[in-house]
Amino acid sequence: MESTMQEVPLTLTELFHHGRRVFGSSEVVTWEGGHARHSTFHEVAARVERLAAGLRSLGVQPGDRVGTLSWNRQEHFEAYFAVPCMGAVLHTLNLRLPPHQLAQIVNHAADRVIIVDASLVPLLAAIRPHLPTVEHVVVVGGGDHGDALGEHIAYEDLLTRSAGGFEWPELDERSAAAMCYTTGTTGDPKGVAYSHRSMYLHAFAVWGAFRLSDRERVLAIVPMFHVNAWGTPYAAWMLGADLLLPDRFLHADGICSFIQAERPTFTGGVPSIFSGMLAYFRENHPDVSSLKRAVCGGSAVPASLIEAFRDELDIELIQAWGMTETSPIGTIAYPPRDTPPEDEMRYRVKTGRAVPGVALRILDEDGSEVERDGVAVGEIEVRGPWITGSYYNASAPEKFHDGWLKTGDVGNIDPLGFVQITDRSKDVIKSGGEWISSVELENLLMGHEAVADAAVVGVPDEKWQERPLAVVVFRPGASATPDDLRAYLGDSVVRWWLPERWAFVDEIPKTSVGKQDKKKIRADYAAGTIEAVQVATSGAPVR
């Protein structure tokens, strides 16, 4: 049977027109520290059109890359629609990368234009001479940029000089809409190019997974330079949810002031954001009562954090998993229906179940699927319309297998389909041939009353090849001995998992997106910058 349904392309242009037509009075709110700037979707849409016209006047053609070096703010959101819908490719740049890596990424993507916040001009100015493909720099916001940047255009000038109205082109749904480079936690950054079709479908997945609607006020804490802020800006727009953007005010006091003033109902972020918020809340008691739910992912979410949010803040912290390569939504951890409240945590601490559209399997070292028994571990592979099929101008055959993406995450899956990530394959600790889960040890340690933060990495050991090193940050005024912490862990894990090596530090090294930088921890330990005490001889795996 040949003729079925209409051939409407799945493009961001369709979502753009929908949000503008149906939800013109919903709002985009940008925090400017102390006060908020409000714009309706109707106003934003008109500016999106002017931005597209302005970029076209600079010579931006379909397929060209337009970089953004910007915090979460209205203008960045304008580029989120203007650039892809005019047929160009939005390349969100991670403003926390070291300058040489930033330059490498701009050059690899061959960006023709960069839109930069005034507050980030010094960062761009430092690498400007090394960016041969960049023809135009557009600066958002006021301030004196001096000569450092060279020739540039003011964003508002670009908008005013283009008359309203823009002929949106018809786009192939498979063409690239945006791109993002991995942050390189375990290797060199690689580019992932999202298609219109993948972003369109992913926005629907976010709608379902985050259970959003026009009744929500969505606070996007996840940076818009990191995997499109998990797709929440697009989902908010198409559903008419208000979109609240914190700009650069990401410290707990800034976020909490924004929450008090603008009363979001929903947010999303990495665990370190929420643990910072919790510590701030305990000291200052800001009114965060508007917030009902928060999705948390990017690294494992400690049980103690989920419980504290529930008990002290009355906020449901929902764990999710994803990667730059997966757009990012892959799994989400809602307890199954009919779970009695006292059993909910069993599911909430897990990585979650695959969202519809994502197929997931776990393969052992021989390439066979592991038992779905919640115990057997192997590497997670995923497949779906918003999972990348390749990397931009980089060959990485080792990342793909029979049309599935090899995630580099190791874990198990239970009979209900709940996945539990136990490690990244590059962070796995293999002691005497047996695996020890760093994620589980960290999770337990963070539940100890004296511990504010903890990381566990594998370090060389003469007898067992590798043993866990625990790196711990205490809460202010608190402390504990390695023996206390070993005894505490001993209640939950087998003896040979207990770390003998302990380091107590002021801060755990973090990556540009706030994840534990285990590469750096291992290097610091090897170089002696992180010093550990050893309290016992290595435990033996018991078989």
The yes-or-no answer on residue 168 being catalytic is no
**Annotated catalytic residue within 40, 43, 344, 435:** 435
- The verdict on whether 430 is a catalytic residue reads yes
At 407, give phi and psi (nearest 5°).
Answer: -75, -20
Sign of torsion over alpha carbons 404, 410, 415, 416 = negative
The one segment of 65-73, 254-262, 287-295, 296-304 that binds ligand ADP by CB under 6 A:
296-304
Smallest gap from Cβ 195 to ligand ADP, in A, equals 18
Burial code (b: 16+ CB inside 10 Å, e: under 16) for 95-105 equals bbbeeebbbbb
Taking CB under 6 A as the criterion, which residues in 259-278 touch ligand ADP?
none
Q: Of 162-170, 236-244, 260-268, 315-323, which part binds ligand ADP (CB under 6 A)? A: 315-323
**What's the distance, CA 153 to chain centroid?**
31
How much of the chain is in helix, strand and coil states, percent to nearest 5? 35, 25, 40
Nearest CA to 117 out of 184, 51, 177, 72 is that of 72
| Smallest distance, ligand ADP to C-beta of residue 513, A | 6
CA distance 174 to 33: 40
Least distance from ligand ADP to the Cβ atom of residue 517, Å: 10
> What does the alpha-carbon distance between residue 67 and residue 57 come to, in Å, rounded to a whole number?
17
Q: Does 159 bind ligand ADP (CB under 6 A)?
A: no
Tell whether residue 351 is a contact of ligand ADP (CB under 6 A).
Answer: yes
**Which range binds ligand ADP by CB under 6 A, 82-90, 108-116, 297-305, 306-314?**
297-305
**407 contributes a contact to ligand ADP by CB under 6 A:** yes
Distance from C-alpha of 271 to C-alpha of 296, rounded to nearest angstrom? 6
Structure tokens belonging to residue 71: 């915090």
Distance of closest approach, residue 329 Cβ to ligand ADP, in angstroms:
10
Q: Is the Cβ–Cβ distance between 40 and 24 less than 8 Å? A: yes
Site for ligand ADP in 490-529 (CB under 6 A): 515
Q: Binder to ligand ADP among 20, 112, 196, 424 (CB under 6 A)?
A: 424
Kindly identify the residues of this chain, within the stretch 376-405, that bind ligand ADP according to CB under 6 A. none
Nearest to ligand ADP of 84, 271 (CB atom): 271
Whether 519 is a known active-site residue: answer: no
**Which residue among 430, 510, 519, 520 is the active-site one?**
430
Q: What is the DSSP string of 417-458?
A: --EEEEEEGGG-EEETTEEE-HHHHHHHHTTSTTEEEEEEEE
Q: Which residues are catalytic?
A: 182, 325, 430, 435
* Chain residues that interact with ligand ADP, rule: CB under 6 A: 182-185, 297-301, 319, 321, 323-324, 351, 407-409, 421, 424, 515
